[in-house]
Structures are given as structure tokens and as C-alpha cells.
Amino acid sequence: MSQREPIERHVTVGGLDLVAWEWAPDGAPEGPPVILVHGIGLHGRTWDRVIRELPASAWVFALDLSGHGASENPPHPEGGQIWWDAYGREIAAVAAALDLPPALGVGHSMAGHSMIFAAEAAPERFSSLLLLDPTVGDPERAAVAEETPAEPRPVSRRRNEWGSPDEMFERFRSRSPFDAWDEGVLRDYCEYGLTKSGEGYALACPPSLEGTIWGGMSPDVYRAIASIEVPVHIVRAEPRTEHDPPGWTPSQTWPGVHEYFAQATDELAAGRGHFFALEAPELGARLIEQALQRATAR
């Protein structure tokens, strides 16, 4: 277990100030750098507990995508929708701005989907991908873009103002899906997911912006998948069944997606829902370590 503290790195991409949190290795890094990217409404520091479980020799970057964490918010998108392929190109641009050697790209949920486009946009920046329930449907459904609703999505109405991170933590700890998260991860989500606002705090990812990110799956995802030549490992959560308990968060990923990559493997996170890396940081760390071992063995 590593107790390293991250370095806050700033880069400019598309005119926006973006933050990449760097955990420098203790000595020479073993294996490629690791780029970790979060899902919708989260931020790079939700990976803290996972990174603590990694060896001190791992060289890790956790990104705050635009509109999340300590990164600058983008303008409200024309048409009311941010598409996830755009976030993929943003990830690629951050990797280029940091001038990283070919990295292990790790993305959860929306960021797993976006990581496919990052590797397409800058193949020289990625040596392999680890996609954690990356929200990719079957080819027929994925080819049809979700219609952007005329009215703001319900998530746009979530509570924005908070008295403190502790208040947010106490509010969320008993609510699905947060009640299944590791408590340390949830505390980090609250601590680094708020910004000062007057005498209190507001969400770093404003609900009005978060609502424009939902539903942004790119209909070009299988075209991008066909361009990926590096090894890919996909880890899926359990699929939905008729016996789902209340609050269950089943897989958002079609089980056959790995067959469309040039070289990919598939794994089921048995008994786990969509947020498995946030529920069990040691599991997330194990998956990353195994991916690094595969990378160094090649």
C-alpha cells in the first residue's frame, strides 16, 4: 500500500485549464504510466483509495475532465449535449500535453467509452487499455444516438448547494448507489467534488452541466473500436436480472463488445455492480496491477 500524495498538474486543452493529479513513482517507474479517468459527475480524486493499493513504483495520473473536480467548466454545449467522443479527444490531448510515453489507459463507465476515442485520436500515447464497464451497447443499438430531450434531464435538478463536504457525505452515505461505495471513496468524492460558493459549497460538476453529459454515447463507437490495435481488457459488472435488489446498478456494457477489438479479453466482476471499483478499491487496484503485469510481460 502506498501513502504518496499527488502533485496537481495543470494543462491547457481547448482553451480550458484542466487538472491531472500525478502520483510520482518511488524511484524508477515499473511499467508504463497509468492514466485513470472517472465517470460522469465524479473526478480524479475518486481514484485515491485505488491508487493507495497500488505499489509505490506505479506512475499514475488521475484526470479531472473538463467540468469536473478542479478542472475548468466548459461553456454550455450547443444542442444541449456533450458527446463522449469529445471527452476521448480531451483525454488524448491531456496525455499529449503531459508528453507521456505510451500509457495504460483506464476508464470507468463514460470514461471507458471515451478512452476508446482517446486511443483512436492518439494511438502513440497508449500501450493498452483497461475498460471498467465502459457503457458500450451492442452494435445495432450503439449505432443510434440517444435523442437529446427537449427538457433538462432529471439529474439537472439534483441538489447543488451544500454547507460542507461532511453534510454531503452524511446525506449520501445511506442513498443508492453511494451506500455501496467504500466510505473512503465516498468521502473523497465529497471532499474534492465541491467548490467554495459564498459561505458554503457547490458541486464542482454543476447539475445543469452533468445533465448535458448523460446520454452522450457516440454512435461512432464501433468505428473507433475497429481502429484500436493495442491490447484491451474489459471488465463488466453483473448484468441485470429479474431478481435485482433495490438500488442494484447492473452492467452498462454488452457482453460481446470485446469481440470487435483487434485484440481484447473480457472478464466478469462476479457479484459486482457498475461502480465496482468505487465499492472495492482493492479490486480496482488488482485489475490495474494485472494490466500492468500484462503490459510489462509483452
Percent of the chain with pLDDT over 70: 98
Per-chain mean pLDDT for the chain: 95
Give the pLDDT score at 135: 97
Over 90: is that where the pLDDT of 248 sits?
Answer: no
Percent with pLDDT over 90 in the chain: 89
Q: What is the pLDDT of residue 3?
A: 81
pLDDT at 102 over 70: yes
pLDDT at res. 296? 87
298 pLDDT exceeds 90? Answer: no
Question: Around 101, how many Cα atoms within 13 Å sit in the side-chain half-sphere?
Answer: 6
How much is the pLDDT for 247? 62
Residue 29: band (very low, low, confident or very high) from pLDDT cuts 50, 70, 90: confident
Q: Where do the DSSP E strands lie in the chain?
A: 7-13, 16-23, 34-37, 60-64, 103-108, 126-132, 161-162, 194-197, 200-203, 232-236, 264-268
For the chain, domains (ranges, CATH) are: 7-144+217-297 (3.40.50.1820)
Verdict on whether the full-model pTM lies above 0.85: yes
CA dihedral 240, 245, 246, 252 (to 10 degrees): -20
Q: pLDDT tens, 147-184?
A: 999 889 999 999 999 999 999 999 999 999 999 999 99
- Residue 278 in contact with residue 252, Cβ under 8 Å? no
Average pLDDT over residues 86-95: 98
Q: Does residue 246 carry a pLDDT above 90?
A: no
Q: Where are the alpha helices (DSSP H) in 19-134?
A: 48-52, 84-97, 110-121
